[in-house]
Amino acid sequence: MAAAEKRTFSLPSEQANYIDSLVSSGTYATSSEVIRAGLRALQERDTAVERWLREEVVPVAAAMKADPGRAVSIDQVFDEIRTLHAGRLKASERAA
């Protein structure tokens, strides 16, 4: 494990109580473990968002910039969503 650095920070009561409940329930041994787990989860989420932006959003944006004719209007998007939603409603009504 890397060398630990001490930090001091303030939390709202709700978050502090949540940390305390995780420690008292035995889910984590210390409040530091709770914070480390939270930071790991945040890092994983940030990494996933960065990957999504890099691998999916940027290529689509570049393709749209290169060929704006590929775009669909907002009205087309909403029409497709409404059609999809109506189909799902009918399917759920038949299943009920």
pLDDT of 34-75, one tens digit each? 999 999 999 999 999 999 999 999 999 999 999 999 899 999
| Residue 25 counted as domain residue | yes
| Number of domains present in the structure of the chain | 1
| Residue 7 counted as domain residue | no
pLDDT of residue 96: 80
CA gap 73, 35 in Å, rounded: 45
Which pTM was predicted? 0.67
Average confidence (pLDDT) over 1-18 = 93
Whole-number mean pLDDT of the chain?
Answer: 96
Q: Find out whether 33 and 45 touch, Cβ atoms under 8 Å.
A: no
| Residue 50 counted as domain residue | yes
| Residue 30 counted as domain residue | yes
CA gap 71, 18 in Å, rounded: 46
| Residue 58 counted as domain residue | yes
| Residue 3 counted as domain residue | no
| Residue 2 counted as domain residue | no
Side-chain half-sphere exposure of 86, counting CA atoms within 13 A: 6
To the nearest whole percent, how much of the chain has pLDDT over 70? 99
Range of the domain at 35: 13-95
Label residue 95 by pLDDT band (50, 70, 90): confident
